[in-house]
Amino acid sequence: MADRILSPEDVPKSLWNGDNFLYLPRALRDVYRKTLDSIGKLEEACRDTPGGSIGGDTQEETNLHFVHSFDGSCARVELAMLDPKDELEKASDFFLQAFSGGRVRLLDIPCGCGASSAALLATVSELRRQNVLPREPLDVIVTGGDKSDPARNYAELVFGELKESLRNQGIFVSASFHSWDVMDEASTTPLLDQWLSNQDCDRFFLLIANFSGVLSNTGKIKKANVPLGEVMRWTGARKAAIAWIEPQTKKANRMSRNAVLGRVFEWLRIWSYEPKRFGEELTSESKYAHPVCKDKTPTVRLLLYRMESPRR
Q: What's the structural domain count of the chain?
A: 1
Core vs surface per residue 177-186: b (16+ CB within 10 A) or e: bbebbbeeee
* 292 located within any domain: yes
Per-residue pLDDT of the chain (312 residues; tens, 9 = 90+): 568 999 999 999 999 998 889 999 999 999 999 999 999 999 999 887 655 555 667 899 899 999 999 999 999 999 999 999 999 999 999 999 999 999 999 999 999 999 999 999 999 999 999 999 999 999 999 999 999 999 999 999 999 999 999 999 999 999 999 999 999 889 999 999 999 988 889 999 999 999 887 787 677 888 898 999 999 999 999 999 999 999 988 888 888 778 778 888 888 878 888 766 555 689 999 999 999 998 899 999 999 988 888 876
* Peptide bond just before 110 cis, omega within 30 deg: yes
CA atoms within 13 A on the CB side of 81: 32
Phi/psi for 27 (5° steps) reads -60, -40
**Domain assignment of residue 2, yes or no:** no
* Distant-in-sequence, close-in-space partners of 129: CB < 8 Å, separation ≥ 6: 14, 168, 169
Quick check: is 6 in a domain? Answer: no
DSSP state of 194: H
Q: What is the CATH number of the domain that holds 80?
A: 3.40.50
Q: What is the DSSP string of 24-80?
A: --HHHHHHHHHHHHHTT-TTGGGS--SS-----SSHHHHHHHHHHHHHHHHHHHHHH
- The whole-number pLDDT of residue 214 equals 79
* One-letter amino acid of 229: G
Q: Does 285 fall in a domain?
A: yes
Name the pairing type of β-strands 102-109 and 21-22. unpaired
- Assess if residue 207 is contained within a domain: yes
- Tell me, yes or no, whether 1 lies in a domain: no
Report pLDDT for 277: 57
Is there a domain that residue 65 lies in?
yes
Closest CA to 124 of 146, 99, 107: 99
Segments forming the whole domain that contains residue 44: 13-308
Query: Quick check: is 208 in a domain?
Result: yes
